[in-house]
Amino acid sequence: MIRLRVFAVSFIFFTFFTCTKNYPQSAPKPDVNQKEDGNNTFFLNVLNKALLPENISANILKAVNENPSFVSGITLILRTDPYLWKLVDKNNSLGESYAPDDLVELKKGSYLVNRKDLTLRKTAADSLEEMAQAAKKEEVTLTASSAYRSYSYQAQVYDRNVREMGKESADRESARPGFSQHQLGLVVDFGSISDAFTGTKEEVWLSRNAWRYGWSLSFPEGMESITGYRWESWHYRYVGAELAKFINDYFNGIQQYALQFLKAYSENKLVQLQNIHNNLLPDIPTQRARRRRGSG
């Protein structure tokens, strides 16, 4: 019975992550309308949990019902490195111990580096080089000015900003240690790391093209009430090509909305799978108790 239980759980998770829909010829296919109602109910719960605005939620529900590639696209994203889509903001921390194990030093190539000790995770560094080469072809040079920050280094940055600016102002543009996207090793601050960066050739090029190489602006203009941070035109996070396109296609380019959605989706999917598992197999202790009573 225990082996049966393990097999059933494995089968459920395999079915979810492969998204197969193969039915035996002798078995009736599920009712389409019933399936759509179930999808809508699931996604309504996800959208409520993700706290998305009405227009974004409406776009998502439309995609669920009209675009078969939408759900498969989510599955593709969730199969990637989970830190690419991990929500890290004022309410969701990486903790003190997290540090990437594949950091590489950024060296001058197609882009410039403002400091010698800048590092990124290798996938992000490779993408940065590819993006910088593309920018070079259009006579734009990218400059990496800040990248990975450890928990302890971010603590120094935050404390300095609080001393110099006061806590209220510091919190608008500086993350507490553990709550910074920089700790992921997937973020680059470009150029001057100031408002002077806005409107430069580098900033304009990035705003139009960064998503094509898997980069997403974390803190857009006019979204401080959503992201918790003021507009930072220089702060880009590498999320991968699939997710960057997903953010543009369904979330109006707002990274925060997409990451909130994916967090809610993955959590609700796990709950759904657990419920299926609980309903699929009877409780083993209960079965054993029945057998004992029967043998007595």
Give residue-wise pLDDT tens across range 73-126.
Answer: 999 999 999 999 999 999 999 999 999 999 999 998 899 999 989 999 999 999
Q: What share of the chain is helix, strand, coil (3-state, %, to 5)?
A: 60, 10, 35
Average model confidence (pLDDT) across the chain = 86
pLDDT higher at 18 or 99: 99
**Residue 138, pLDDT above cutoff 70:** yes
Domain presence at residue 225: yes
**Residue 13, pLDDT above cutoff 90:** no
Give residue-wise pLDDT tens across range 280-293.
Answer: 655 555 555 555 65
Structural domain tally of the chain? Answer: 2
**Residue 26, pLDDT above cutoff 60:** no
Residues 105 and 203 grouped into a single domain:
yes
pLDDT of the residue at 19: 43
Domain presence at residue 9: yes
Domain presence at residue 115: yes
**What percentage of the chain exceeds 70 in pLDDT?**
79
**Residue 3, pLDDT above cutoff 60:** no
Distance from C-alpha of 57 to C-alpha of 40, rounded to nearest angstrom: 11
pLDDT higher at 91 or 272: 91
In sequence order, which residues have a C-beta less than 8 Å from that of residue 95 and are 6 or more positions away? 151, 178
Residues 122 and 234 grouped into a single domain:
yes
Residues 96 and 227 grouped into a single domain:
yes
Give the domain extent around 140.
89-238
Domain presence at residue 153: yes
Nearest to 132 by CA among 238, 206, 242: 206
Residues 41 and 19 grouped into a single domain:
yes
Domain presence at residue 244: no
- The DSSP annotation for 242-272 comes to HHHHHHHHHSTT-HHHHHHHHHHHHHHHHHH
pTM of the model: 0.81
Residues 96 and 222 grouped into a single domain:
yes
